[in-house]
Amino acid sequence: MKTRMKELRARYNLTQEDLARKVGVRRETILFLEKGKYNPSLKLAHDVSKALKTTIDELFIFEDNKKKK
């Protein structure tokens, strides 16, 4: 999974701590989300998208592991 969180966070001049406070999670959760190492619940994905003024599908990019023939 890839995310555009870092890019959007920079656009709105938010630190990881600011975003974590806005969403109500720990800073490590934002860090892991940005690295693509945590699959968030639908609610958290929604909250983060809302905080970054975007949509879930624009924020989180899921890559299909299976190669298309």
By CB under 8 A, name the binding residues for other proteins.
17, 20-21, 24-29, 32, 36-41, 44
Two structure tokens written together for 38 = 């945590």
Tokens of 54: 């975007």
Q: How far is the CB of 21 from other proteins (least distance, A)?
A: 5
Q: Which CB sits closer to other proteins, 8 or 20? A: 20
Residue 60, classed as helix, strand or coil, is: strand
CA 22 to chain CA mean position, Å: 13
Q: Which is nearer to other proteins, 4 or 21 (CB)?
A: 21
Please say whether the beta carbons of 19 and 48 come within 8 A.
Answer: yes
Q: Which is nearer to other proteins, 10 or 31 (CB)?
A: 31
